[in-house]
A = this chain, B = another copy of it.
Amino acid sequence: MLPRVRAAVAQLVSALGAPAPAGPGAERGSEPPPEPQPPRCRPPFLQLSPGELRRAGQRALRAVLSPRRRLPWSAGYAEVINAGKSQHNEDQACCEVVFVERRPSPRGQLASREGGREPGRGRKGFYFHYWALFDGHAGSGAAVMASKGLHLHICEQLRDLVDILQDPSPPPTCLPHNAGAGFVEPSRVSLAEDDEEVPNDAVPRFHLEKAVSHESLVIGAIENAFKHMDDQMEQERGSQHLSGGCCALAAIYLMGKFYVANAGDSRAIIIRNGEIIPMSREFTPETERQRLQFLAFLKPELLGKEFTHLEFPRRIQPKELGKKMLYRDHNMTGWAYKKIEEEDLKFPLIYGEGKKARVMATIGVTRGLGDHDLKVFSSNIHIKPFLSCFPEVRVYDLTQYEHCPDDVLVLGTDGLWDVTDDKEVAGVVMEVLMSYEPNDPCRYTMVARELVVRSRGTLKERGWRLANDKLGSGDDISVFVIPLGGPGNYT
B209 engages A323 (CB within 8 Å)? no
Given A175-B323, A208-B356, A209-B314, 17 extra CB contacts under 8 A: A171-B326, A171-B335, A173-B314, A173-B325, A177-B322, A179-B324, A182-B324, A206-B315, A208-B315, A219-B333, A220-B328, A221-B336, A223-B331, A223-B332, A224-B336, A291-B294, A333-B392
B174 engages A220 (CB within 8 Å)? no
**Which residues of the partner chain B approach A337 to less than 8 Å between Cβ atoms?**
160, 175, 182
CB<8 Å pairs between A and B, sample of 6: A173-B313, A175-B323, A209-B314, A220-B336, A222-B334, A223-B332
Give, as a whole number of angstroms, the nearest-CB distance from A357 to chain B: 10
Cα A433 to Cα B390 in complex, Å, equals 49
Confirm or deny: A67 has a beta carbon within 8 angstroms of a beta carbon on chain B: no
Cα A346 to Cα B323 in complex, Å, equals 49
**Which residues of the partner chain B approach A295 to less than 8 Å between Cβ atoms?**
294, 298
**Which residues of the partner chain B approach A160 to less than 8 Å between Cβ atoms?**
337
Confirm or deny: A24 has a beta carbon within 8 angstroms of a beta carbon on chain B: no
Give, as a whole number of angstroms, the nearest-CB distance from A333 to chain B: 6
**Which residues of the partner chain B approach A209 to less than 8 Å between Cβ atoms?**
313-314
Please choose the segment from A9-17, A102-110, A210-218, A444-452 that sits at the chain B interface, where 4 or more of its residues have CB less than 8 A away.
Answer: A210-218
The answer to whether residues A206 and B390 also contact, given A294-B294, A298-B298 and a CB cut-off of 8 A, is no
The answer to whether residues A333 and B217 also contact, given A206-B314, A208-B356 and a CB cut-off of 8 A, is no
A174 engages B325 (CB within 8 Å)? yes
Nearest residue, chain B, Cβ from A221: B336
The answer to whether residues A212 and B313 also contact, given A221-B336, A334-B222, A334-B393 and a CB cut-off of 8 A, is yes
B335 engages A220 (CB within 8 Å)? yes
**Which residues of the partner chain B approach A462 to less than 8 Å between Cβ atoms?**
none
B326 engages A173 (CB within 8 Å)? yes
**Best-surrounded residue of A211, A216, A315, A351 (most CB of chain B within 10 A):** A216
The answer to whether residues A320 and B216 also contact, given A160-B337, A210-B313, A298-B299 and a CB cut-off of 8 A, is no
Confirm or deny: A353 has a beta carbon within 8 angstroms of a beta carbon on chain B: yes
Which of B175, B177, B211, B326 touches A212 (beta carbons < 8 Å)? B326
The answer to whether residues A334 and B220 also contact, given A174-B320, A177-B323, A299-B298 and a CB cut-off of 8 A, is yes
Cα A333 to Cα B263 in complex, Å, equals 14
Mark A182-210 against chain B: 1 for CB-CB distance below 8 A, else 0: 10000000000000001000000010111
B171 engages A223 (CB within 8 Å)? no
